[in-house]
Amino acid sequence: MVEQPNFVDRLRGRVGRWHFRIRYHLETLGLLSLSPEVASHIEDAVEDSLPRVAAPTDFRERLRNNLDFVAANQASGSSIVIDTPQQRSGHLIIGLSAGLLAATIAATVIVLRSRLASAQR
């Protein structure tokens, strides 16, 4: 089984790519003309100033429990649906729009009926 890179490794990879892109663009624009020694010194200072990130001690145990739970649910044929806030807000907007449309139609019908009734008198 191929081990997936952990969060810290992925974060280091992303920061490294961002660093490369930013440095490349600054150098091509002529805004960055630091010597490698100065750049190395700045990189070391930034690395020393950032706090070290460590996973909680029970992270792997909780992950294993969660994966066991998901595997058991999948084996039993049940599914877990997780609504994201974006999905909930989309449903809320659709529901409110439908309610507003129904209220507008009802108000229009009431107004038209009252005008027809007053016109017939």
Cα–Cα distance between 53 and 13 in angstroms, integer?
15
The answer, yes or no, to whether residue 4 has pLDDT greater than 80, is: no
**Higher-confidence residue: 13 or 34?**
13
Mean pLDDT of the chain: 82
User: Which CA distances in Å does 65 have to 56, 57, 77?
Assistant: 15, 14, 19
pLDDT tens digits for 40-65? 887 888 888 888 788 888 889 999 99
